[in-house]
């Protein structure tokens, strides 16, 4: 059974939360920060991550006090604590999966490449995903079965305000005739040839067989048109959905990094799921996303070592 919560309300809560949190960290990117190490020098957190998470929790709890919230900053560092935390809640009726600041290393280094990622799942199925890039002022959003869209924070805020006002007056759902949302429709790239493809990944590959994964990755890089490693899984997925990057893979990520992005890629017409099986869902940790099925097949073959 699908969630019977009004879509406009879910969307408005997610959009407003993402924008307030993203604007909060954008304004603090150049200030000095207390940096705490989580599992390694490559895995860090700042007080701003927690502040952004609190902003998002505040928005969701104001409308949905009984929903379950899974935020990156509430979970102990390390893969096994993350897997346990996700398993414990993955079948909840109403679950929000929140990465308040994806790309924390970039944030610490004053590199303007970080996003907010928020997903809503109903009984384990991701229904809604929002990724907000406050530096480029881009909101990427998808609702399951209703497409993927891009807009500015201002347009998104205006839409939320209008929806809330209209519903107060008429209590009816506004459905647009042609398009679910009046924004630019996202469309993945159609590129099939690996030699022309612009790919993205995250290094170092984490987990037990790190060097084999890195070797396979280097083979792909040698075959590809070019490679980017931007340091934010959610931003990579948003750019796959927008057709800017043709393929992306990364190992050992958590649901909060990728839940929203996987839905946005799929709704933009792309392939996104686990490396090897292609299965999606909240338990995916090794992710592959591409514009075309041909490129997905090619990358899977090269990655399966
Ligand atoms: P973060 O910035 O929220 O930590 C970069 O390769 C991607 O991997 C980012 O999305 C980053 O999220 C995530 N990441 C960084 N360190 C990680 C770790 N130790 N385990 C899992 N994911 C990590
Ligand atoms: Ca993250």
Q: Categorize the per-residue pLDDT at 32 as very low, low, confident or very high, splitting at 50, 70 and 90.
A: confident
Q: What is the spatial distance between Cα 110 and Cα 5, in angstroms, rounded to a whole number?
A: 39
Q: Which two tokens stand for residue 115?
A: 């996003």
Tell me the CATH number at 275: 3.40.190.80
Q: Are residues 40 and 7 in the same domain?
A: yes
Domain closes at, from 185, 213, 238: 185
pLDDT at 199 over 60: yes
pLDDT at 178 over 70: no
pLDDT single digits (tens) 228-259: 999 999 999 999 999 999 999 999 999 999 99
State the distance from the centre of ligand 2 to the C-alpha of 256, rounded, in angstroms.
Answer: 6
| Ligand 1 lined by 231 (C-beta under 6 Å) | yes
Tell me the CATH number at 142: 3.30.540.10
pLDDT single digits (tens) 61-110: 999 999 999 999 899 999 999 999 999 999 999 999 999 999 999 999 99
| Ligand 1 lined by 257 (C-beta under 6 Å) | yes
pLDDT single digits (tens) 210-233: 688 888 899 999 999 999 999 999
pLDDT at 171 over 60: no
Q: Are residues 181 and 280 in the same domain?
A: no
Q: Are residues 108 and 51 in the same domain?
A: yes
pTM for the model: 0.95
Residues around ion ligand 2, judged by CB within 5 A, are 99, 102, 257
Q: Are residues 264 and 291 in the same domain?
A: yes
Domain closes at, from 136, 162, 185: 185
In order of 17, 27, 81, the CA distances from 141 in angstroms are 13, 23, 28
Q: Can you give the residue range of the structural domain that contains 238? A: 194-303
Q: Whose CA is nearest to atom 21 of ligand 1?
A: 253
> What is the average per-residue pLDDT within 197-212?
81
How many domains is the chain partitioned into structurally?
A: 2
| Ligand 1 lined by 100 (C-beta under 6 Å) | no
Q: Are residues 212 and 67 in the same domain?
A: no
pLDDT at 170 over 80: no
Q: What is the mean pLDDT of the chain?
A: 93
Q: Are residues 75 and 159 in the same domain?
A: yes
pLDDT at residue 188, as a whole number: 98
State the distance from the centre of ligand 2 to the C-alpha of 113, rounded, in angstroms.
Answer: 12
Q: Identify the CA nearest to 121 among candidates 152, 142, 147, 91.
A: 91
Which are the contacts of 160, defined by CB distance < 8 A and separation ≥ 6?
Answer: 11, 12, 15, 16
Q: Identify the CA nearest to 95 among candidates 129, 132, 55.
A: 129
Q: What is the spatial distance between Cα 248 and Cα 270, in angstroms, rounded to a whole number?
A: 11
């Amino acid at each position: 059974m699908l969630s019977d919560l009004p879509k406009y309300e879910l969307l408005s809560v997610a959009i407003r939360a993402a924008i307030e949190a993203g604007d909060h960290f954008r304004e603090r990117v150049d200030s000095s920060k207390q940096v705490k190490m989580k599992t390694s020098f490559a895995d860090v957190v700042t007080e701003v991550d927690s502040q952004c998470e609190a902003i998002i929790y505040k928005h969701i709890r104001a409308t949905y006090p009984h929903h379950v919230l899974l935020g990156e900053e509430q979970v102990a560092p390390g893969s096994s604590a993350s897997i346990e935390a996700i398993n414990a809640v993955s079948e909840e009726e109403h679950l929000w999966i929140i990465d308040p600041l994806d790309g924390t290393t970039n944030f610490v280094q004053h590199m303007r490449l970080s996003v907010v990622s928020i997903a809503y799942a109903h009984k384990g199925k991701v229904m809604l995903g929002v990724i907000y890039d406050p530096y480029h002022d881009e909101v990427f959003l998808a609702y399951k079965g209703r497409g993927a869209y891009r807009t500015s924070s201002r347009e998104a805020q205006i839409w939320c305000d209008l929806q809330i006002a209209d519903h107060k007056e008429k209590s009816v759902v506004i459905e647009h005739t042609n398009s679910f949302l009046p924004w630019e429709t996202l469309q993945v790239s159609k590129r099939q040839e690996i030699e022309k493809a612009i790919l993205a990944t995250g290094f170092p590959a984490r987990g037990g067989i790190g060097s084999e994964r890195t070797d396979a990755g280097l083979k792909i890089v040698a075959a590809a048109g070019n490679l980017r490693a931007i340091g934010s899984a959610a931003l990579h997925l948003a750019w796959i959905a927008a057709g800017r990057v043709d393929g992306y893979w990364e190992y050992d990520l958590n649901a909060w990094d990728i839940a929203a992005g996987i839905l946005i890629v799929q709704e933009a017409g792309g392939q996104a799921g686990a490396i090897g099986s292609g299965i999606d869902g909240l338990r995916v940790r090794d992710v592959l996303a591409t514009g075309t099925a041909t490129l997905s097949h090619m990358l899977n073959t090269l990655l399966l070592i």
